[in-house]
Structure 1
Amino acid sequence: MHLLHAEPRSSLYYRYEVFDPWLPSQHAGPQSHRVVVAGAGPIGLVTALALAHQGVACVLVESERQVCEGSRAIVFTRRSMEILQQVGVADQVSASGLPWRFGNSFYRGQRVFRMEAPHDPDDRFFPMINLQQQFLEEYLVDAVRQHPLIDLRWGNRVTAVVQDAKGASLEVDTPEGPYTLQADWLVAADGARSPIRSLMDLKLEGASYEGRFVIADIRIDLPLPTERLAYFDPDWNPGNTILMHREPHGIWRVDYQLPPGEDPEDALKPASLKARIDAQMAMIGHAGVPWEMDWCSVYAARALTLPDYVHGRVLFVGDAAHLLPIFGVRGANTGFQDAQGLAWRLALVVKGTSPESLLNTYSSERVAAAREIIDEAGKSTRFMTPPTRGFRLLRDAVLSLSLTEDFVRPLYHWRTSRPHEYTHSPINCTDDDNTSFHAGPGHGAPPRNVQLGPDDHLLDHLDHQFALLWFTDANAMPADLQVAIREMRDRGIPLRVIAVGRGAPVSGADETLNNAAGHLRDRYGVTASGAAYLLRPDHHVCARWTRLDATRLRAALSNAAGLQGA
């Protein structure tokens, strides 16, 4: 019997709500469903919402009865905000969070590097925004509870998984005992310690680094901007690194590296926490400023991934699929891209439009993304926490030279998380005009947002379907293109047609964007009427043409949906 502590968690700034558990005795009827998502953290919640927006119902099971303990993930990137916009919670995050774009590195009291993330008027969102994970989970839970296609079950823990070619049988424990849940597909979004991954005896590949960090959230009034602050080799923590971030509600995140061999339990004792945080405040010129501890934990840097995210009828996303170092805000931000990339494919498979083999392209794309991130994160991690004497000598040389030499300072760059470009994805079109474009997003790239008006951007007009951006000076789409579009829709492929024209509606399009000034054309490298971009439901580019015709559109959509030869 799965019994949970029912008292709300304590926090200086967040009021926890304890949700009633879902009990099998209160819900008669067969427990057989097309999709079950295990884990109602940010990634599981986004996965469930993305599926629901595709018209696919799911059961979302969560072993806890309240949102996460502590702030945990606090930095969300522009691309994550675009994904959160797609599932309907970006406005709440923007209203509550603290946007920022600068990062600073300090050594011996001197700022030796200042990172500036790019930002221009075409961007709806800032490069980064800080918000505690509890608030994000609250917004997502509210959206889930309002959606009729999602059945959220608190206090339900998956304890066994048995699968065959047709689905998975789950043993689920509750406060009144277990029940069996049948699923055609199981999405494992159950976090870093993933019980489902353990039940299936799957092993992560990669590296675990020796460096450990204490993560402490404190309430304190500091007159400092919302920027990333990194301190290297301070006197009070020699050879190690300290990070600081401002959070909403008067909270500051302080991450400090522990000396080798220190016991994590000892590091979390009140006396140890107080001595080190006091030393950090003194070092930055704020000795004696009163502070209160809200939450703390110990973190170990790991760069690991499953070699495959598809295991029969079980699909892995987020930390269940990979564990990434915090340096560069990669964890949740990478998981959101997993959720978005999986949901549209799984929806096509569940609806019978696409074959199950389409899911393999999810795995190949996201495993490649994880490996790229691990490679970049490894560089940052080795600089932040040198794993060997040789790396430490190199890092210390950079620190010393950076006091006087500009050329070494870019080595402090922390390689911020960025969306992966699926340049070599098998669902990219093989016979389009990608190489003929001299600007704009290419094969596999995420979309380039474009400001269309005072509070109007291109991505505001994209939803959970394929999107055909057709650039035209005409007042109607050619008849053969309209026929091809109807045929593909009849085959079950969701497609939204957006004409980019001169202001008047374009017949045959679902919507016409006024581009009389040509700015959208310029950003997408379009030089002549009749050009087009095909965006996947996760908004990545899978084809672009200098001039589109019906045959090429059919081929590109069939390929992207895994229907070649069907």
Structure 2
Amino acid sequence: MHQPCEQARRSLYYDYRVHAAWRPSAHGPQARQAVVVVGSGPVGLTAALGLAQAGVRCVVLESELQVSEGSRAIVFTRRSMEILQQLGVADRVSQNGLPWRFGNSFYRGQRVYRMEAPHDPDDRFFPLINLQQPFLEGYLVDAALAHPLIDFRWGNRVTQVRQQADHAQIEVDTPEGPYTLDSDWLIAADGARSGLRSLLNLKLEGASYEGRFVIADIRIDLPLPTERLAFFDPDWNPGNTVLMHRQPHGLWRIDYQLPADESPEQALQPEALAQRINALLAQIGHAGQPWEMDWSSVYSARTLTLPDYRCGRVLFAGDAAHLLPIFGVRGANTGFQDAQALAWRLALVQRGVASERLLDSYSQERVAAAREIIDEAGKSTRFMTPPTRGFRLLRDAVLSLSLSQPFVGPLYHWRTSRPHEYRHSALNSAGDDNALFQAGPGHGATPQNVNLGPDDYLLDHLGAVFHLLYASTGEALPDTVQAVVAQARAQGLPLRVTAIGSAQPVAGADQTLADAAGRVRQRWGLRGPGAAYLLRPDQHVCARWLSLDGHRLQSALRSALGPTGVAS
């Protein structure tokens, strides 16, 4: 029988809750489920909440009885916050996290590069925000437990999966013994050591790097701003790299690279940890400052992905699908995008609005995104942890040159995670006016937010459904457009229409944004009445027109649902 730990994890800053295990004897025979999500980390819960918001019931299986241990993912991007806003937890992250936008790189005691992430008044969220993963998981758990369509099962570990033509059969172990659960679909969001990936004998492709890093969370009072600090080749860790991040509640996250001849077991000995941390504090001018250890671990930089995120009835997301280096905050932030991209598709498939082939586009888009990230992250990783003597010589030459030549500085920038643009997605409309626009987000891009007034932004008005943004100064949308919208809704497609540019409500639109200053139309390139955008439920652009009619909208909706979609 599976026996998860019932003792609350130790922490200096987080009050861990131990939840009661879900026991099969208290619930009787198990009905077949629509979707089972394995893993209650940020990715699994994002997928579960996205499905529930779309009206699809799901079961969440979590082998533990509490959220994860240690800071883990601590830096969340603006795009991740926009996704969390759709799930209703972004406010809690903003209230408790530490926003930032500057990063500093040091070599031989000299700052050689200062990174500045862009931020302007049209952005609701800062480019980056620091918050320990247990807090974020806790907010998502609260939202999931409160949703009537989510069945949360703590202490349930998947031990076997048998695939059938139209469902997956899952063996689940619990503290009182096993039970069998059938589900139409299974989402594998069970992390880097994915048990489901192993059960299905699937292999990741890519590279693992020799460089290993210690993560150390310490409580210490340092009078430093919330900015990323990176130290290259410090005297106390020659040839290696060190990172520092301020965290909420008086914690600092320190990541330092290990010498090649030191094992993880040696590195995590209290004496070794204390020696390195004290040396770092002395380097930054705070020698002797008292500190207390909260949590430590070791990780390796890896750039790996499954070649396909769909295996029959099982769909992979997050670290179960790919392993990405932390440089550039790519792990959890990429996982959020996986979960969002998967949830809307699976909801439409499960409700019969689209065929199963729509799920293939999930894999195609997200594998391409992972490979793009791997290409970028590989460059960063080779700079941070040179894999060969040749790479180290090149890196050391850049370090030396940066002391006297400012133009070298940007080579330190490892290009922080950004959302993938699905420019070549099969879901984009082939017959629209994308190439004719002079401004605004193009095919596959995420939306550009716009400040509409005090505490009011464009994305506040866009939920997890298809959105038609239509520039209008008239009293009503064209009859042909209204007819296609009505037909799509009758077929079950979640489609919301927003008219932009009219001071009065526009007939046929669900909401009207006056856009009195013309900011939305300017940023989005909506040059005249009748110009429009179609956004997918994950808010990526799939069509845009300088002039929209019913026929063009119908064609775009058909493309957006993939092969054999029902909107026609």
With structure 2 as the length reference, what TM-score do the two structures score?
A: 0.99
Q: Distance in 1 between matches of 2:364 and 2:261?
A: 38
1:315-464 → structure 2 map (5 Å cutoff): 315-464=315-464
1:96-107 → structure 2 map (5 Å cutoff): 96-107=96-107
1:175-190 → structure 2 map (5 Å cutoff): 175-190=175-190
Paired residue type of 1:463: G
SS at 1:92 equivalent: helix
Q: Distance in 2 between matches of 1:69 and 1:516?
A: 49
Q: Distance in 2 between matches of 1:165 and 1:324?
A: 32
User: What does residue 546 of structure 1 align with?
Assistant: 546
SS at 2:177 equivalent: coil
Q: Distance in 2 between matches of 1:396 and 1:562?
A: 49
Q: Could you tell me how far 1:261 is from its partner in structure 2?
A: 2.5
Q: Distance in 2 between matches of 1:420 and 1:531?
A: 25
Q: Does 1:505 align with 2:505?
A: yes
SS at 1:129 equivalent: strand
Paired residue type of 1:460: D
SS at 2:47 equivalent: helix
1:107-506 → structure 2 map (5 Å cutoff): 107-506=107-506
Q: Is the 8 A contact 1:498 1:510 kept in 2?
A: yes
Gaps of 5+ in 2: none
Q: Distance in 2 between matches of 1:29 and 1:173?
A: 15
Q: Is the 8 A contact 1:421 1:444 kept in 2?
A: yes
SS at 2:509 equivalent: coil
Q: Is the 8 A contact 1:474 1:501 kept in 2?
A: no
Q: Is the 8 A contact 2:355 2:565 kept in 1?
A: no
SS at 1:226 equivalent: coil
Q: Is the 8 A contact 2:530 2:546 kept in 1?
A: yes
Q: Distance in 2 between matches of 1:464 and 1:386?
A: 42
Segments of 4+ moved more than 3 angstroms: 563-566
Paired residue type of 1:446: T
Q: Distance in 1 between matches of 2:62 and 2:4?
A: 12
Distance 1:565 1:557, change over 3 A: closer
1:203-256: CA deviation from partner (whole Å, max 9, x where unpaired): 000000000000000000000000000000000000000000000000000000
Q: Could you tell me how far 1:31 is from its partner in structure 2?
A: 3.4
Q: Is the 8 A contact 1:242 1:257 kept in 2?
A: yes
Q: Could you tell me how far 1:502 is from its partner in structure 2?
A: 2.5
Q: Distance in 1 between matches of 2:563 and 2:164?
A: 24
1:405-426: CA deviation from partner (whole Å, max 9, x where unpaired): 0121110011100000000000
Paired residue type of 2:421: E
1:474-528: CA deviation from partner (whole Å, max 9, x where unpaired): 1111111111110111111110000002211111100000112111000001111
Paired residue type of 1:349: V
User: What does residue 530 of structure 2 align with?
Assistant: 530
Paired residue type of 1:325: P
* Of 487-496 and 170-179, the range deviating more from structure 2: 487-496
**Aligned length in residues:** 566
1:278-317: CA deviation from partner (whole Å, max 9, x where unpaired): 0000000000000000000001000000000011000000
SS at 2:64 equivalent: coil
Paired residue type of 1:467: H
* Of 307-316 and 27-36, the range deviating more from structure 2: 27-36
Q: Distance in 1 between matches of 2:513 and 2:360?
A: 35
Paired residue type of 1:397: A
User: What does residue 68 of structure 1 align with?
Assistant: 68
Q: Distance in 1 between matches of 2:448 and 2:54?
A: 23
Paired residue type of 2:348: L
Q: Distance in 2 between matches of 1:206 and 1:450?
A: 39
Paired residue type of 1:108: R
Q: Could you tell me how far 1:563 is from its partner in structure 2?
A: 5.2
1:100-141: CA deviation from partner (whole Å, max 9, x where unpaired): 000000001100000000000000000000000000000000
Q: Is the 8 A contact 2:354 2:565 kept in 1?
A: no
Q: Could you tell me how far 1:564 is from its partner in structure 2?
A: 4.7
Paired residue type of 2:58: C
Q: Distance in 2 between matches of 1:281 and 1:516?
A: 53
Q: Distance in 2 between matches of 1:213 and 1:351?
A: 45
SS at 1:178 equivalent: strand
Q: Is the 8 A contact 1:318 1:336 kept in 2?
A: yes
Q: Distance in 2 between matches of 1:123 and 1:150?
A: 32
Q: Distance in 2 between matches of 1:515 and 1:379?
A: 42
Q: Is the 8 A contact 1:104 1:230 kept in 2?
A: yes
SS at 1:171 equivalent: strand
Paired residue type of 1:5: C
Q: Distance in 2 between matches of 1:288 and 1:487?
A: 71
Q: Distance in 1 between matches of 2:481 and 2:136?
A: 42
Q: Distance in 1 between matches of 2:509 and 2:563?
A: 24
Q: Is the 8 A contact 2:469 2:498 kept in 1?
A: yes
Q: Distance in 2 between matches of 1:261 and 1:302?
A: 19
Paired residue type of 1:508: G
Identity of aligned residues (%): 71
Q: Distance in 2 between matches of 1:550 and 1:384?
A: 53
SS at 1:140 equivalent: helix
With structure 1 as the length reference, what TM-score do the two structures score?
A: 0.99
Q: Distance in 1 between matches of 2:530 and 2:517?
A: 17
Q: Is the 8 A contact 1:353 1:492 kept in 2?
A: yes
Q: Is the 8 A contact 1:31 1:180 kept in 2?
A: no
RMSD (CA atoms): 0.7
Q: Could you tell me how far 1:5 is from its partner in structure 2?
A: 1.7
Q: Is the 8 A contact 1:217 1:253 kept in 2?
A: yes
Q: Is the 8 A contact 2:306 2:321 kept in 1?
A: yes
Q: Is the 8 A contact 2:355 2:564 kept in 1?
A: no
Q: Distance in 1 between matches of 2:255 and 2:310?
A: 34
Q: Is the 8 A contact 2:167 2:313 kept in 1?
A: yes
User: What does residue 9 of structure 1 align with?
Assistant: 9
Q: Is the 8 A contact 2:354 2:564 kept in 1?
A: no
Paired residue type of 1:181: L
SS at 1:47 equivalent: helix
Q: Could you tell me how far 1:565 is from its partner in structure 2?
A: 7.4
